[in-house]
Structure 1
Amino acid sequence: MFGFGGKNVDYAKYFVGESYLKSLVGEADIDVNVGNVSFEPGCRNNWHIHHNGYQILLVTDGEFRRSYWHLDTFWGFGGIEHTIPEHGYFFHGEETRADSATVSGKIHYVENHPDVQAFSYLKELIKDDDDVTARQSIPAPAQLYVELFRDEHNKKITNEFYPDHKELVADISKAYRELILDLYNHGCRDIKLDDCTWGVIVDDDFWNVFSEDGKYTRDGLQDLYLELNNGALVDLPEDLRITTHICRGNYHSTWASKGGYEPVAAHVFAKENVDAFYLEFDDERSGGFEPLRFVPKGKEVVLGIITSKKPELEDKEELKQRIKEAAKYVDLENLALSTQCGFASTEEGNKLTEEDQEAKIKLVIETAKEVWK
């Protein structure tokens, strides 16, 4: 994709099985041995690739060692413990398993973090493929902050350890920055921050409930999220690429929040210190492309206009038209195409078959090749 000489095809993470790639392209068509990107027996065999024509440019393990896309990372920090709350997360029509992360001491980074272990394993798999870059996806720092105030129990515990919230913000950012630098020192040059905080705050129903305690204005909360995220991204090596995926929830083909990006665009698009934004635009919940006008010139936007929640295939001509509409706000050369989210953000996965997932991926490839000729 962008930083590696290819462009404009970026189909999203978490599809299952080595067989997908083999059915899409033959080893003779790509200068990469497909067998070098398979994973341990018994795991979910999820992975993520960027695809430029018929060449693999970037891979991740698809978080196949995690139960959740976010909690496992939190549990790897010092001062955080795995707890079981009364309820899971509430999605549209479903409730998740009940797991959480709660403060148990001052938050700090612990060496040999599970994400570093996972990255090191992936890096070893592709060590002989010079043209392939290994990426690590981690939840955003703001996501940890939100988890620590998820319910009354977590709020109480967090306030006991951190009566000064400025100290909490500083410790979260510091722990994350040390994680990022540790990943870098283990060879990582591409990190993606998965972030549902912005995708939730756009929802007026959520905001009306959240604002009842009067602690934050909507702008004030956005300033806090930026402080948390950007605080972890200061003084990083110049050859480290940082991107972010803004999500509205992805669990068993359901969603958690709704709303366009307009309420947050002037903050996150204009001020977050990342190189690219992965954005959901797969249905009416996501609003229009107008908020993209806040994206600074030269930054990249990956359009998630193909849903990973349902098996039905989008119409290719309609996808092309939507890309054309987005190009009114971001130059076409700085746009890319992907599915809206992953096919399995948790171990439950979405309600699609392997064949459905393969068809979605092929649609991304075919559409992008026709748009960016």
Structure 2
Amino acid sequence: MSIPYDKKTPHRFDVVGSFLRPERLKRARIDWKAGRISAEELAAIEDECIRDLVEKEKAAGLGVITDGEFRRETWHLDFMWAFGGVDHRPTKEGLPFHDEAAKIDDTYLVGKVAYRDSHPFIDHFRFVQALEDERCVAKLTIPAPAQFFEQFAMPFNLEGTRRHYASKEELADDIVAAYKAFIADVYAAGCRDLQFDDCSWGMVIDPHAEQFFGVDSAGLERVKEDLLDVNNRALEGRPADLTVSTHVCRGNFHSTWACEGGYDDVADFLLACENVDAFFLEFDDARSGGFEPLAKVPAGKKVVLGLVTTKSPVLESKGSVVGRIREAEHYVPLESLCLSPQCGFASCEIGNKLTEDEQWAKVRLVREVAEEVWG
């Protein structure tokens, strides 16, 4: 039995977006950084690897295709680096994850945030869109406006940010304007499925959130308001036929994590009030809490349950995944639920600790469960 294809996303059987980089691609990027191959040679290898990935996505039965984020070092920072006012350098310490530091570039402001004439992700999208057929639609994943805002409003970056912005409100205004310009351009390029990836909510719900943000409990409530405001303002006036979803993450680097906590404390902000069409939500282990906060999701919006972990090669049992969908059904009607892996398989180039075969086994499990539940 197979699920009927629907151009409207998200699908019953979906993915967050990133996939493990092939070794050939990893070597090519190392060679490019060392000056052994040109940027054009690297791009040609990226093209070939993405074409191969899309064929595998189609063979897996996916109704959405992505480039696996194969042209990026990280899921979010490459997007930011293409805006005016943003610079970066190799990190010395990295970001603290559970048992490991994420060695991703320090990224900071050197001026006002500004959208340039275009953005490289527009061409990245066009490449994948050209590989669409009657059974699939191209999805583009980008960091949420709140993620962009958080990057430069956090205590570790705030001193530098204040050299260019007198207030966080001014920073938010420029980020909103930049996102509106990007969304207009990518929509004009043909994008109809845009996904915001957002770790900011994952930080807010962590027991150490006040320490992360340098605030007290009242200040943390204002942080939630700021995150919701910047996301919603960036989406004001978007085209009616542009589907926008958001994926909430607690950190995904080399099978490690950064934050923990259920959705309870952000349900009235994120789930009840963020103006997206669908929520991709992690529910792969106890760190994600229970399904009760889903009762706050407005009728008509979809919830994509991330029940199959990308952090481990161990394959979940089909029965356990089906059982958890039935639990979630107590809070969201089955027709508004979908299924996906809990996160991408490679939010950064290093990827998670599983093989490509194990990755595709996870995708296959999601499809089999979706066909059983909704087919």
TM-score, normalization: structure 1? Answer: 0.87
| Partner of residue 199 from structure 2, selected from 196, 201, 226 | 196
> Which residue in the other structure is 1:256 paired with?
258
CA 1:187–1:89: 2 relative to 1, 3 Å: same
C-alpha displacement at 1:84, in angstroms?
A: 3.6
CA 1:163–1:85: 2 relative to 1, 3 Å: farther
Unaligned runs of 5+ in 1: 19-37
Distance in 2 separating the partners of 1:225 and 1:299: 20
- Structure-to-structure mapping, 1:1-373, within 5 angstroms: 3-4=7-8, 7-16=11-20, 40-41=47-48, 55-126=61-132, 129-152=133-156, 154-205=157-208, 207-210=209-212, 212-214=214-216, 217-373=219-375
Is the contact between residue 20 and residue 352 of structure 2 (CA under 8 Å) also seen in structure 1? no
C-alpha displacement at 1:178, in angstroms?
A: 0.8
- What is the DSSP-based 3-state SS (H/G/I as helix, E as strand, rest coil) of the residue aligned with 1:304? strand
**Deviation per residue, 1:107-154 (Å, 9 max, x gap):** 11112312112112212233xx244321110000111111113454x2
Identity %: 44
**One-letter identity of the residue aligned with 1:75:** W
C-alpha displacement at 1:95, in angstroms?
A: 0.5
Distance in 2 separating the partners of 1:5 and 1:13: 13
- What is the DSSP-based 3-state SS (H/G/I as helix, E as strand, rest coil) of the residue aligned with 1:362? helix
Distance in 1 separating the partners of 2:282 and 2:261: 11
C-alpha displacement at 1:318, in angstroms?
A: 1.2
Q: Which moved more, 1:115-124 or 1:207-216?
A: 207-216
**One-letter identity of the residue aligned with 1:372:** W
C-alpha displacement at 1:15, in angstroms?
A: 3.0
CA 1:352–1:85: 2 relative to 1, 3 Å: closer
**One-letter identity of the residue aligned with 1:40:** D
- What is the DSSP-based 3-state SS (H/G/I as helix, E as strand, rest coil) of the residue aligned with 1:243? strand
Distance in 2 separating the partners of 1:335 and 1:318: 16
- What is the DSSP-based 3-state SS (H/G/I as helix, E as strand, rest coil) of the residue aligned with 1:161? coil
- What is the DSSP-based 3-state SS (H/G/I as helix, E as strand, rest coil) of the residue aligned with 2:245? strand
C-alpha displacement at 1:362, in angstroms?
A: 1.3
Is the contact between residue 249 and residue 255 of structure 1 (CA under 8 Å) also seen in structure 2? yes
Q: Which moved more, 1:263-272 or 1:84-93?
A: 84-93
> Which residue in the other structure is 1:22 paired with?
none
CA 1:6–1:71: 2 relative to 1, 3 Å: closer
Moved over 4 A (4+): 42-51, 53-56, 211-216
Distance in 1 separating the partners of 2:10 and 2:183: 25
**One-letter identity of the residue aligned with 2:47:** E
**Deviation per residue, 1:90-119 (Å, 9 max, x gap):** 100000114122111111111231211211
C-alpha displacement at 1:280, in angstroms?
A: 0.3
C-alpha displacement at 1:46, in angstroms?
A: 5.3
Q: Which moved more, 1:318-327 or 1:83-92?
A: 83-92
- Corresponding residue pairs, total: 349
Q: Which has the higher contact order (CA 8 A, sep 6+)?
A: 2
C-alpha displacement at 1:85, in angstroms?
A: 4.3
**One-letter identity of the residue aligned with 2:64:** L
**One-letter identity of the residue aligned with 1:41:** E
Q: Which moved more, 1:91-100 or 1:80-89?
A: 80-89
Is the contact between residue 46 and residue 64 of structure 1 (CA under 8 Å) also seen in structure 2? no
- What is the DSSP-based 3-state SS (H/G/I as helix, E as strand, rest coil) of the residue aligned with 2:12? coil
